């Protein structure tokens, strides 16, 4: 078990007038503590490693911890699945064109929520409940590696992204903590191999 960084205000604490302190109140307390220790005010807006990380929003996946990155070093774009949607491309365009990033790491992971249902299931449920269908695609997948390759292709074939020579995709195994590379061609990746 990895402990959260701060556990300053314990659960069940009662604040002013005896009102229970809820989760977000506790988080705001953590933020006060953060500001007290803060020393990173000189960091530049441009990520110093010129890196963008596109990853699933899964709570078990900690891209900064996994890749050994700190504040000011990279951009993180996250959504359900870590899929390269139009909005991911929008963020990557801005990241590269205005904020100087050059390399992109994509991270999918095992036991992803997006493997557990289909687009039609969600769309039918939403339609049945609300009478409307969303304008966005759900983008579920049943093959992690194939979706990762598709996500890489969406980046490398985008006319709007200037730097596509260093785009690499990985699957994080939530069961072992290991990272496995998936090449754009589907051939086995060799650790340490260039490309
Ligand atoms: Zn996921």
pLDDT digits (tens, 9 = 90+) for 39-98: 999 999 999 999 999 999 999 999 999 999 999 999 999 999 999 999 999 999 999 999
pTM of the model: 0.86
Give the pLDDT band of residue 21 (cuts 50, 70, 90).
confident
45 alpha carbon – ligand 1 mean position (Å): 28
Please state, for a pLDDT cut of 70, what percent of the chain lies above it: 85
Q: At what angle do helices 144-156 and 86-99 cross, to 10 degrees?
A: 50
Instruction: Look at domain 51-182 and name its CATH class.
Output: alpha beta
- At 80-95, the pLDDT tens digits run 999 999 999 999 999 9
pLDDT in tens, 141-183: 999 999 999 999 999 999 999 999 999 999 999 999 999 999 9
- Alpha carbon separation from 110 to 18, 61, 132, 171, 184 (Å, rounded): 43, 10, 32, 7, 18
CA 24/CA 104 separation, integer angstroms: 32
User: Could you tell me the distance, in angstroms and rounded to a whole number, from the CA of residue 129 to the centre of ligand 1?
Assistant: 25
Residue 19: strand, helix, or coil = coil
Residues around the ion ligand 1 (C-beta < 5 A): 56, 58, 112
């Amino acid at each position: 078990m990895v402990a959260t960084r701060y556990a300053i205000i314990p659960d069940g604490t009662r604040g002013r007038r005896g009102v229970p302190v809820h989760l977000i109140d506790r988080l705001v307390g953590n933020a006060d503590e953060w500001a007290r220790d803060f020393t990173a005010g000189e960091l530049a807006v441009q990520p110093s490693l010129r890196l963008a990380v596109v990853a699933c929003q899964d709570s078990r996946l900690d891209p900064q911890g996994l890749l050994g990155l700190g504040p000011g070093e990279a951009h993180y774009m996250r959504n359900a699945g870590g899929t390269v949607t139009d909005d991911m491309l929008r963020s990557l365009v801005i990241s590269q064109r205005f904020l100087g990033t050059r390399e992109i790491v994509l991270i999918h992971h095992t036991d992803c929520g997006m493997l557990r249902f289909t687009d039609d299931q969600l769309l039918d449920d939403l339609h049945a409940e609300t009478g409307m269908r969303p304008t966005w695609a759900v983008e579920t997948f049943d093959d992690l590696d194939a979706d990762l390759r598709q996500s890489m292709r969406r980046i490398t074939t985008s006319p709007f992204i200037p730097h596509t020579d260093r785009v690499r995709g990985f699957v994080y195994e939530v069961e072992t903590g290991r990272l496995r590379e998936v090449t754009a061609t589907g051939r086995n990746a060799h650790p340490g191999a260039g490309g």
